[in-house]
Structure 1
Amino acid sequence: MIKFITSKTNLPENSIKNTVDLLNQDCTIPFISRYRKEATGNLDEVQIGEIVKYKDQFEALEKRKIAILKALEEQDVLTTELKQKIEACTDLTTLEDLYLPYKKSRKTKAETARKNGLEPLAKIIMSQNANDLESIAFKYVKGEVKTVDEALEGARHIIAEWINERTDIRNNLRKQLERYAMIATTVVKTKKDDENAQKFRDYFDWEESLNRIPSHRLLAILRAEKEGFIRVKINIDDVKALENIDRKIIKSNTACADQLELAISDAYKRLLFPSLSNEALQKAKEKADEAAITVFAKNLKQLLLGSPLGEKRVLAIDPGFRTGCKVVCLDAQGNLLHNETIFPHPPKSDSIGAIKKLATLTEAYKIEAIAIGNGTASRETEALVKKVHFKNDMQVFVVSEAGASIYSASKIARDEFPNYDVTVRGSVSIGRRLQDPLAELVKIDAKSIGVGQYQHDVDQNKLQKQLDVVVENCVNSVGVNINTASVPLLSYVSGIGPKLAENIYNYRNENGAFTSRNEIKKVPRLGGKAFEQGAAFLRIKQAKNPLDDSAVHPESYKIVEKMAKDLKVSVDELIGNKDLLQHIDLKQYCTDSVGLPTLEDIVKELDKPGLDIREEAKVFTFNQNIKTINDLVSGQLLPGIVNNITNFGCFVDIGIKESGLIHVSNLSDSFVKDVNEHVHLHQQVIVKVLDVDIPRKRIQLKLHK
């Protein structure tokens, strides 16, 4: 396993070995990357994630080897040579090729020919030294085989199967497909004018190299095929492919050679090409999936680590026209204090009543900020809020509603607010997203947040796995207040999981707030391992021991106490004291298990304990003169917010229904390798309008430096 992972990652062998040992002890990625730096050689969470990926891959390969060896033993066909080849295998494709001749397949043409006694004839043809082939074939005309042609055809079916099972031929064709395969599409004529097909019209007649096609384009093509609008074909130079096989098999110029040529053509068209072109397309799809999942994961990370407003009292509005605007008032911890509906927009148009109501509510509940959902009627509601004369300065934020409706109808929302309907729950979610995006967004299935490309077309298991890792890493990099966190948030803490999260929540409800990290050990079923993995990510505000509200692991408290004692100060006095911290000689605190990386982390944390790695929320204002796509003109400079990032560019909300696209070529004057190096999600940017296609509702933008 260690050799396998080393060959895939190029990471130091010792680091991999120690990381695998820690993973086998049920340690989590956040815990290992943060608190076991000496063992891993300072590997970060991404590198550890790679080790996990290839460890899983290796284990799946070994599991498949065991299953194949068992099947071959049962068939009594396992030779020493075959066993050695299988055990030496390092990838699944080669392994399946080795197993292919022994697979119990459905009834094939070759199987029928064997039953008709034609295998000896096939062997004679393959030997290529028979002179009078017709006379030889005539001997096999009996039973089901009525003619010489039928005998020869049956023998060719057996030969075609042998050719299909040859690893060298399969690998040769694989290489050709890898280098030269083209993916070609044609429109299904009866669907050409279908309204839903129009978004795929670029692919009505398309051809491109399969190994160079970008992820988003391949996924779009496969979706169009799935929806029945286009047909997809994989093409290579068939003549060249057949010549390559001929060279490997035909060694003479006899009648046997003619039969072999026919068998090769049959093997290629019926068996090899359909199977291996599908495999090539599947591999391209896996590569495209990986690229799309990476994009989604990067976007999700940026979204989850979005700027929090913090513990402030918020009035949140879920805007709407006919059904009104749902208004809720939340305290600094996100608890619901009040809710009602105002009707400032048509058809009721009671803007005066709505303005008075907002002024009254903000004063009554000592509101410090307003959050407005960015859906229908958002701009109109924002304009209304700005007309209100508030007694105090009021920050007004427009907040993404993505996934709020999913949350409001979920079991989590019903459990939190059993006596309120979905509209109230949706408004609460908008307000809480402003206070702390991470704490609120973990309650929603990450796939529903909608920041990615073709997330519903990729391998859903791989996507879910990757997104869970992202959420876990984000939650643990920020840390969690154990006394206010919801069950979903607690469940992502290292070593905790859903069941222990519920136990923590129930313990808190029955016994009141936790006062120390030690008390966490009293939670039912929370054992030593879970405490080791999770304690440092769980924070306790106003705890008796100030280290309980820091990222210092309880296992290192004694080190901090010794540092403070050596400096003749209390731990309280050491925390935040830059001068004292700068003069600590870390080397004297090194032990066999604690080295400089851990000690440097401790001092960094003592300097700014519990520091939130996220930026603060900033107010943003769209251009008030731009209400619809019809107001856009080429050359305009507009403020916008990046609301989605893909491999081909990023989408920007400029305050109207349609988001504009900054194509990758318009992000910079120089070559752009990674969109994320130039923009990040929710970044406030200035864009230049390049082109507006009103019929297709497409807006082309350029990033203005």
Structure 2
Amino acid sequence: MTSAAMPRISQIIAAEIGAAASQVNAAVELLDGGATVPFVARYRKEVTGGLDDTQLRKLEERLSYLRELESRRAAILESINGQGKMTEALAGSIAKAVTKAELEDIYLPYKPKRRTKAMIAREAGLQGLVDAILADRSADPLALAAGFLTEGFADAKAATEGARDILAEGLAEDAALLGRLRDHMRKVGRLTAKVVAGKEAEGAKFSDYFAHDEAFSGAPSHRVLAMLRGRNEEILSVDLEIDAEAKRGESPAERACGAALGAAGQGAGDRWLRDAAAWAWRVKLKTSLSLDLMGELREAAEAEAIRVFARNLKDLLLAAPAGGKATMGLDPGIRTGVKVAVVDATGKLLAHDTVYPFQPKNDPRGAQVAIAKLIGSHGVKLIAIGNGTASRETEKMVSDLLDLLPAGEAKPVKVVVSEAGASVYSASELAAREFPELDVSIRGAVSIARRLQDPLAELVKIEPKSIGVGQYQHDVDQHRLARQLDAVVEDAVNAVGVDLNTASAPLLARVSGVGSGLAESIVAHRDANGPFQTRRELLKVARLGPKAFEQAAGFLRITGGKEPLDASSVHPEAYDLARKIVSACGRDIRSLMADGAPLKALNPASFVDEKFGLPTVRDILGELEKPGRDPRPSFKTATFTEGVNEIKDLKPGMVLEGTVTNVAAFGAFVDVGVHQDGLVHVSQLADRFIKDPHEVVKAGDVVQVRVTEVDVPRKRIALTMRKDGGASAASARQERGAERPKGPAPKARMEAAPKVETSSNAFADALKAKFGR
């Protein structure tokens, strides 16, 4: 790419992210110089004019695309110039192209290609026949063809077919025509799907698309990806229909092709040209353009799916941490038992066990005694229960145990957490290095406990797409998905900050400017020399130089170290400014960081100098007022309804509490504790119109829902969050002739819910004895 192209790129990006070209240029210079997006967003606000991380991520993505576009533009110009075919008009068209597709359309006539039927026809002299037909529209093309017969084109019919091939290739290389046809196809196209004969039973999960038809322009990403998956699994046939009702030769697309040949008259030549244009549309252009548009549709659907996945991942990573408390993790299982792991406030494994409360051993009392012993021995404050198989049964067993604890005894808080990705971590090389002697399933219980303490610190150990907050993640561009999800993880980690003396290597690796290699070096240095006392000591770490220190230092925290500012997000480069601010308050820095009230009386503008502007001063004031603040919300958990353990326990009308596990364009999935998430359709999220479900909910939210429909065979649960209880949905069903299902009152169901047998008074006394009472 030439340097002359950069002004154009800057202007395009500036318009897209709502910034000035000068801001874009400044950010590009920083990024090209090795700075990371989190560092630029936090510590170079004066340089970029305050571009935030969202703008910078968009800038980074578009910069890559536009640089590739400019490189391709330069290669095309070189190729056409080398052929000696460049004209002023052609150069102008190439310069104006704003997408790769548009650029390739222009280049198509000049692109080296394999030997085609049109080439063979030209070599036989049939371009002369084409010229003759275009010159005399009243003459019969078959009569004209008699003068152009050669070997390979021995009769008039073959000669006219050769001429038709030449015309069709010309139409297929007409960039202006292709642009008009694409626009028309986007506007009127219908995306259709049909079941492949005989695949109805096998493809039941795609039954919504067995006879599907919708506008191409309005097809949402989730339906597009569902249909394409059905096609890949050979259950569905998917097509793009254009002007399906138009008579042959009369569709707008065919007329546009005819107009490109100037075939408006009624002579024999005009009629033949119109037929040739219609043939070119049906046989060549429609197929190739349909493939292009389906590729465009898939790319847009993938981009939207990745965007939704990324947003859900961000919400999950920034979910409220339960905090540094002794925590028990339970990985439920039936035949193989419930795996138990206890970790201390820092996540260090203290004890582990396997209990067998269910069949075939069926030892609930023994399991409760073992769990109670671990709770008492290690002062467990939190119990994290994985939400997989037997989670509700395990939760019930724990609830019954907690009910037996002595009156006045502080009971641990039990929480059902997502175990998505726990098995991936437990079988990973990282887990094997951390717990070489532990069984894989016990490692999973450790992960479940830790992700309740601090979701971010634990989930960074798992490949993002294994965390379970996206749809169709295996159907989208894996490189693009990984790149975007990695960016989300990096932004989340740096937004929260990392404790330099307790963070794992995987967590440190996500810090701005660190990476996996330096993260391992930091941990090795910490293990060999003890905790870091100051951020400056990072420079003693092998291979960690000034550049990495600049990028990373502000995101690493040291609590209780020699330098109080090391516990904040103030960057070391601004420590002198921070001390100047502290001095103006006439207070000791530690006391000021404990009580920042005097800071409110300061005028930020009075501390601006040549190096630091108003944004940085305001950031420092905010950080001194609340040093090391965690941007994540306070911890809250859902309480599942007793007696509702499986999908068959659900009845329409039930009011339940649940946790949002995933948010898609069409609604939100909610875990209500039955091993199958229910769907709150976007129309049921609120009593007002909602365009984007993220306006109302995000992954990790605790919400109250009402059951509206239950389809046990298809494992589908419809929920509502509307105050009217989903009345609009019920009305729609009644209009379709569907009877609204009824069920007993929630209270009656709860009273009738089966209870797990626990113990006699003697057993309760035994449990109390385990606590030394």
Q: Bin the TM-score by the shorter chain.
A: over 0.9
- One-letter amino acid of the structure 2 residue matched with residue 319 of structure 1: P
- One-letter amino acid of the structure 2 residue matched with residue 483 of structure 1: N
Cα displacement (A) at 1:135: 4.7
Map Cα deviations across residues 174-196 of structure 1 (whole Å, 9 max, x no partner).
110111111111211121232xx
State which drifts further: 182-191 or 67-76: 67-76
Cα displacement (A) at 1:74: 4.2
- One-letter amino acid of the structure 2 residue matched with residue 59 of structure 1: R
Cα displacement (A) at 1:73: 4.0
- One-letter amino acid of the structure 2 residue matched with residue 308 of structure 1: P
- One-letter amino acid of the structure 2 residue matched with residue 229 of structure 1: I
In 2, Cα distance between the equivalents of 1:498 and 1:416?
A: 16
In 1, Cα distance between the equivalents of 2:365 and 2:446?
A: 24
Equivalent residue in structure 1 for 2:208, among 202, 217, 228: 202
- 1:165 and 1:127, CA in 2 relative to 1: closer, same or farther beyond 3 A? farther
Report the counterpart of residue 573 of structure 2 in structure 1.
555
The answer to whether the aligner puts 1:359 opposite 2:372 as a matched pair is yes
CA contact (8 A) 1:126 1:159 kept: no
Report the counterpart of residue 509 of structure 1 in structure 2.
527
CA contact (8 A) 1:564 1:574 kept: yes
Query: Secondary structure of 1:396's match?
Result: strand
Runs of at least 5 residues in structure 1 that lack an aligned partner in the other structure: none
Query: Secondary structure of 1:455's match?
Result: coil
The answer to whether the aligner puts 1:536 opposite 2:554 as a matched pair is yes
The answer to whether the aligner puts 1:23 opposite 2:25 as a matched pair is no
Report the counterpart of residue 229 of structure 1 in structure 2.
235
State which drifts further: 521-530 or 432-441: 521-530
CA contact (8 A) 2:133 2:139 kept: no
The answer to whether the aligner puts 1:241 opposite 2:241 as a matched pair is no
Runs of at least 5 residues in structure 2 that lack an aligned partner in the other structure: 1-8, 724-773
Equivalent residue in structure 1 for 2:601, among 558, 579, 583: 583
- One-letter amino acid of the structure 2 residue matched with residue 590 of structure 1: V
Cα displacement (A) at 1:85: 2.9
- 1:506 and 1:123, CA in 2 relative to 1: closer, same or farther beyond 3 A? farther
Map Cα deviations across residues 608-632 of structure 1 (whole Å, 9 max, x no partner).
1111111233343211121222222
Report the counterpart of residue 604 of structure 1 in structure 2.
622
In 1, Cα distance between the equivalents of 2:135 and 2:25?
A: 51
Report the counterpart of residue 742 of structure 2 in structure 1.
none
Map Cα deviations across residues 618-663 of structure 1 (whole Å, 9 max, x no partner).
3432111212222222212111111111111111111112221111
State which drifts further: 454-463 or 92-101: 454-463
In 2, Cα distance between the equivalents of 1:253 and 1:327?
A: 86
Query: Secondary structure of 2:594's match?
Result: coil
CA contact (8 A) 1:181 1:210 kept: yes
Report the counterpart of residue 369 of structure 1 in structure 2.
382
The answer to whether the aligner puts 1:643 opposite 2:661 as a matched pair is yes
Q: Normalised by the size of structure 1, how large is the TM-score? A: 0.96
Equivalent residue in structure 2 for 1:295, among 308, 326, 333: 308
Query: Secondary structure of 2:198's match?
Result: helix
Alignment of 1:4-23 (within 5 A): 4-23=12-31
Alignment of 1:614-625 (within 5 A): 614-625=632-643
Equivalent residue in structure 1 for 2:324, among 311, 320, 324: 311
Map Cα deviations across residues 22-72 of structure 1 (whole Å, 9 max, x no partner).
222221111111111122222221111121122111101012123323333
Alignment of 1:408-487 (within 5 A): 408-487=426-505
CA contact (8 A) 2:319 2:632 kept: yes
Cα displacement (A) at 1:244: 2.2
The answer to whether the aligner puts 1:37 opposite 2:50 as a matched pair is no
Cα displacement (A) at 1:256: 2.4
Query: Secondary structure of 2:679's match?
Result: strand
In 2, Cα distance between the equivalents of 1:619 and 1:202?
A: 35
Map Cα deviations across residues 137-156 of structure 1 (whole Å, 9 max, x no partner).
22221222211111111011
Report the counterpart of residue 140 of structure 1 in structure 2.
148
State which drifts further: 37-46 or 68-77: 68-77
Report the counterpart of residue 169 of structure 1 in structure 2.
177
Q: Normalised by the size of structure 2, how large is the TM-score? A: 0.88
Query: Secondary structure of 2:511's match?
Result: coil
Alignment of 1:78-227 (within 5 A): 78-128=86-136, 131=139, 133-194=141-202, 197-227=203-233
Map Cα deviations across residues 669-690 of structure 1 (whole Å, 9 max, x no partner).
2111111111121221111111
- One-letter amino acid of the structure 2 residue matched with residue 387 of structure 1: D
Cα displacement (A) at 1:386: 2.0
- One-letter amino acid of the structure 2 residue matched with residue 39 of structure 1: V
Query: Secondary structure of 1:387's match?
Result: helix
In 1, Cα distance between the equivalents of 2:18 and 2:130?
A: 48
- 1:74 and 1:130, CA in 2 relative to 1: closer, same or farther beyond 3 A? farther
In 2, Cα distance between the equivalents of 1:14 and 1:411?
A: 46
Map Cα deviations across residues 245-265 of structure 1 (whole Å, 9 max, x no partner).
222321444332233123212
CA contact (8 A) 2:306 2:484 kept: yes
CA contact (8 A) 2:39 2:551 kept: yes
CA contact (8 A) 2:498 2:555 kept: yes
The answer to whether the aligner puts 1:286 opposite 2:262 as a matched pair is no
Cα displacement (A) at 1:79: 4.0
In 2, Cα distance between the equivalents of 1:320 and 1:142?
A: 80
Query: Secondary structure of 1:163's match?
Result: helix
State which drifts further: 120-129 or 649-658: 120-129
